[in-house]
C-alpha cells in the first residue's frame, strides 16, 4: 500500500532550549510613518530548514574539503557554490549544488559531483602582494560591479596577528569563472579596523539600502587569537562595493552599525566565572550575518561554549581526552553549541545616526541553534536574495566517507518574516510544531478555517505507518494546540528521525515534517 505521506521541502526550525530575550540595550521603536519601522522582527521559529547536501572528500587538484575552512559564496547564475577547502591551502573550488533533501541523516543526502572548477589559491596572487601575511579566508560574496561584471570579494585575516597591526582585509578576484587564471586585485582595506571588518560579506536588502547608505554588510567577531584586535561580539559595517573597481589596493569607506571591543564587549564576564553568562564568552564566534529581507532583523550565526561549565585557558577539560587544551576552552568538553544572535535594525540605525553607540546594542533574542548534523561549529554562510535561501556550512560534519574524512555539510534555510500562526486565521489549514527539531516533546499548533469542522490529527513514522492519533473530533474555527511526548499509541518512544503529521479538516489534508533528535 502506498504511503499517505507526501514529501515536503520545509519545516520550522525552533529552539531546543528556551529562547533568551535580552532587555538591557534592546529597544523598541514605534511607527512614525517610516515603512521600515513596521517591518516585523524575526524569531528562531521563523527559520525554516529547506534541506542539505554533502560534498565529496576527494582531492581535486591542490586541495580537498577535509578540514575545510568553511566560507562559501553561492552563485545563482550557475546554481553552484564557491567554497574554501583545507585550512592549510586556503584554496577555493566550485561545486554544483545537488537537489536539497530535508533530512538529518547523512546517507539520505545527495552528494555533489566533482567540482566545476578545481581548487585554486588566492591569498598568494594579489597584485599588491600580501604584506600583512593574511592566511585565512573568512568570508566571500559574488558582487556585480559597474563596468566589471561579477567579481568575487574575499575577506581574509592573519590567524595569529600577535602585534595586532594588520590593516588589510579584502581581495577581488576579477573573473570568478576562472579561479586559477583570474587577476586578483588587493589587498584592499576596509575602514573600521581589520579585526572588525574582515569576516562575512552579505547583501543589504533593497528596502534598507537608502536608510543605511550602502548595499553590502561586512562583519567579524572574536573567537580567534588576539582578542584585543577584534570585535568582541558580532559586528556590522555597511559599505558600497563600487570602490572595488580600482585597479590597485584602496581604502573602502564603511559605516559602523554594530561593533564591540575588549573595552566594550558584548558581555564583560568572558570567562563566565559567574556561570550566568549565556550570551558571549571567550570561545563565542559569529561566522555570518545578514539583514533578513522583509524584516527588521540583523541575524548572526555561529557557535559558542562555556555557558554551563565556564571557560578556562589551557586547562584539562572534564570529559576530554586528558590533554591540555590549546587556548580558551569550556571546562566541560561537551559545553559547545551552535548559536544565533538576532538584532533589531532600529538599534543599528540609531547607532548609524549617532543616537547610540554601536557597542551599547544588545540582541533581542539569542540562544542555541539546533544542530541538524554532528557539528559544534559553523564555517561560513551565503545568502541568495533571488531564492531567499541562506546556506550554512556544518564544519567537519561528514565523517562517513573514510577514516580521516570530514568535509562539511551544507544546509539551506529560508525565513518566514511572520510566523503563519501569528497572523489572522488563514483560509486554509496551517500546522507547525514547537520546537522542531524536538528532543522529548513538542507542541503542535494548527488552525481550523471552517466552523464545526471534523479534525483528524495523526502522527506517522518515517515509513508512512500510522503510530498515533492525537485528535479525532469536531472543533471550532480558530487556533488549537496539542502536546505530543514523542510516543506512539502503545506508549513506546519513537526513535530519532523524520516523522510526519497529517492534519485533515473535513477530509482536506495538510502535511508537516517533524525531526526527532537523539
How confident is the model over 434-463, as a mean pLDDT? 86
pLDDT at 14: 38
- Name the pTM for this structure: 0.83
Residue spans of the domains in the chain: they are: 33-306+334-418, 425-516
Buried b (16+ CB within 10 A) or exposed e, 15-35: bbeebeeeeeebeeeeeeeee
Confidence band of 436 (pLDDT split at 50, 70, 90): confident
> How would residue 30 be classed by pLDDT, with cut points 50, 70 and 90?
very low
Share of the chain above pLDDT 90, in %: 75
Cβ atoms of 237 and 218 closer than 8 Å: yes
The mean pLDDT of 356-374, rounded to a whole number, is: 96
Percent pLDDT > 70 in the chain is: 91
Q: Which CATH number fits domain 33-306+334-418: 2.60.200, 2.160.20, 2.40.30, 2.115.10?
A: 2.115.10
pLDDT of residue 77: 95
CB-facing half-sphere around the CA of 373: CA atoms within 13 A:
31
How many contiguous H segments (helices) and E segments (strands) does the chain have?
3, 32
What number is the average pLDDT over the span 313-323? 95
Q: Does the pLDDT of residue 382 top 90, yes or no? A: yes
Cβ atoms of 192 and 256 closer than 8 Å:
yes
| pLDDT at res. 187 | 98
Q: Which of 39-48, 221-230, 337-346 has the lowest mean pLDDT?
A: 39-48
Average pLDDT over residues 261-282: 98
Mean pLDDT value of segment 278-301: 98
Least confident residue range of 10-14, 46-50, 91-95, 489-493? 10-14
425-516 carries CATH number 2.60.40.4070: yes
H or E, element range at 509:
strand 508-516
Q: Whole-angstrom Cα distance, residue 396 to residue 135?
A: 20
Nearest CA-CA partner of 210 in 41, 362, 351, 35: 35
Q: What is the mean pLDDT of the chain?
A: 90
Residues 416-433 have pLDDT tens digits of 754 333 445 555 677 888
How much is the pLDDT for 425?
52
Residue 377 has pLDDT above 80, yes or no: yes
Alpha carbons 123 and 140: distance in angstroms, whole number:
13
Classify 141 as helix, strand or coil.
Answer: strand
CA angle 507, 516, 96 (to 5 degrees): 95
How many of the other CB atoms lie within 10 Å of CB of 490? Answer: 7
In angstroms, rounded to a whole number, what is the distance separating the alpha carbons of residues 145 and 152? 10
Residue 494 clears pLDDT 90, i.e. is over it: no
* Residue 8 confidence (pLDDT) above 70: no
Cβ neighbours of residue 116 closer than 8 Å, sequence gap 6 or more = 78, 80, 94, 95, 96
**Residue-level pLDDT at 101:** 93
Same fold, 33-306+334-418 and 425-516: no
- Tell me which of 111-115, 309-313, 449-453 is least confident: 449-453
Lowest mean pLDDT among 187-196, 294-303, 436-445, 469-478: 436-445
Asked whether residue 388 carries a pLDDT value surpassing 90, the answer given is yes
- Report the C-alpha gap between 83 and 60 in whole angstroms: 13
Amino acid at each position: 500500500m502506498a504511503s499517505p505521506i507526501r514529501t515536503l521541502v520545509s519545516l520550522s526550525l525552533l529552539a531546543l532550549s528556551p529562547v533568551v530575550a535580552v532587555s538591557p540595550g534592546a529597544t523598541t521603536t514605534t511607527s512614525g510613518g517610516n515603512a521600515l519601522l513596521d517591518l516585523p522582527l524575526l524569531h528562531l521559529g521563523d527559520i525554516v530548514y529547506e534541506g542539505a547536501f554533502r560534498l565529496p572528500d576527494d582531492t581535486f587538484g591542490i586541495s580537498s574539503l577535509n578540514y575545510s575552512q568553511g566560507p562559501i559564496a553561492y552563485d545563482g547564475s550557475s546554481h553552484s557554490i564557491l567554497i574554501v577547502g583545507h585550512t592549510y591551502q586556503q584554496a577555493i573550488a566550485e561545486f554544483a549544488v545537488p537537489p536539497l533533501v530535508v533530512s538529518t541523516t547523512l546517507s539520505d543526502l545527495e552528494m555533489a559531483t566533482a567540482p566545476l572548477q578545481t581548487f585554486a589559491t588566492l591569498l598568494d596572487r594579489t597584485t599588491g602582494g600580501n604584506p600583512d601575511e593574511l592566511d585565512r579566508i573568512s568570508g566571500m560574496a559574488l558582487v556585480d560591479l559597474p563596468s566589471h561584471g561579477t567579481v568575487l570579494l574575499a575577506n581574509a585575516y592573519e590567524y595569529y596577528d600577535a602585534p595586532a597591526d594588520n590593516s588589510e582585509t579584502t581581495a577581488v578576484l576579477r573573473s570568478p569563472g576562472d579561479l586559477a587564471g583570474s587577476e586578483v586585485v588587493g589587498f584592499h582595506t576596509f575602514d573600521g579596523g581589520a579585526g572588525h571588518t574582515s569576516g562575512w560579506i552579505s547583501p543589504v536588502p533593497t528596502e534598507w539600502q537608502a536608510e543605511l547608505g550602502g548595499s553590502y554588510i561586512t562583519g567579524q567577531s572574536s573567537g580567534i587569537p588576539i582578542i584585543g584586535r577584534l570585535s568582541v561580539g558580532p559586528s556590522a559595517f555597511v559599505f558600497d562595493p563600487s570602490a572595488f573597481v580600482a585597479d590597485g589596493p584602496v581604502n573602502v569607506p564603511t559605516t559602523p552599525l554594530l561593533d564591540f571591543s575588549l573595552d566594550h564587549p558584548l558581555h564583560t564576564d568572558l570567562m563566565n566565572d559567574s556561570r550566568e553568562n549565556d550570551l558571549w564568552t571567550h570561545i563565542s564566534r559569529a561566522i555570518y550575518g545578514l539583514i533578513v529581507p522583509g524584516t527588521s532583523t540583523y541575524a548572526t550565526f555561529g557557535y559558542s561554549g562555556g555557558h554551563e561549565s565556564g571557560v578556562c585557558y589551557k586547562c584539562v577539560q572534564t570529559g576530554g581526552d586528558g590533554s591540555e587544551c590549546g587556548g580558551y576552552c569550556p571546562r566541560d568538553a561537551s559545553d559547545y553549541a551552535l548559536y544565533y544572535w538576532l538584532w533589531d535594525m532600529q538599534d543599528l540605525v540609531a547607532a548609524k545616526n549617532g543616537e547610540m553607540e554601536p557597542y551599547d546594542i544588545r540582541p533581542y533574542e539569542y540562544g542555541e541553534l539546533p544542530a541538524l548534523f554532528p557539528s559544534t561549529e559553523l564555517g561560513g554562510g551565503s545568502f541568495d536574495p533571488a531564492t531567499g535561501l541562506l546556506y550554512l556550512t556544518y564544519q567537519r560534519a561528514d565523517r562517513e566517507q573514510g577514516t580521516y574524512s570530514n568535509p562539511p555539510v551544507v544546509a539551506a534555510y529560508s525565513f518566514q518574516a511572520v510566523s503563519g500562526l501569528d497572523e489572522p486565521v488563514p483560509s486554509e489549514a496551517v500546522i507547525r510544531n514547537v520546537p522542531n527539531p524536538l528532543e522529548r516533546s513538542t507542541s503542535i499548533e494548527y488552525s481550523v478555517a471552517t466552523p464545526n469542522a471534523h479534525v483528524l490529527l495523526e502522527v506517522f513514522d518515517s515509513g508512512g505507518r500510522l503510530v498515533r492519533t492525537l485528535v479525532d473530533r469536531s472543533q471550532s474555527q480558530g487556533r488549537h494546540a496539542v502536546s505530543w511526548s514523542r510516543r506512539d499509541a502503545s506508549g513506546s518512544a519513537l526513535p530519532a528521525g523524520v516523522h510526519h503529521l497529517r492534519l485533515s479538516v473535513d477530509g482536506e489534508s495538510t502535511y508537516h515534517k517533524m525531526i526527532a533528535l537523539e
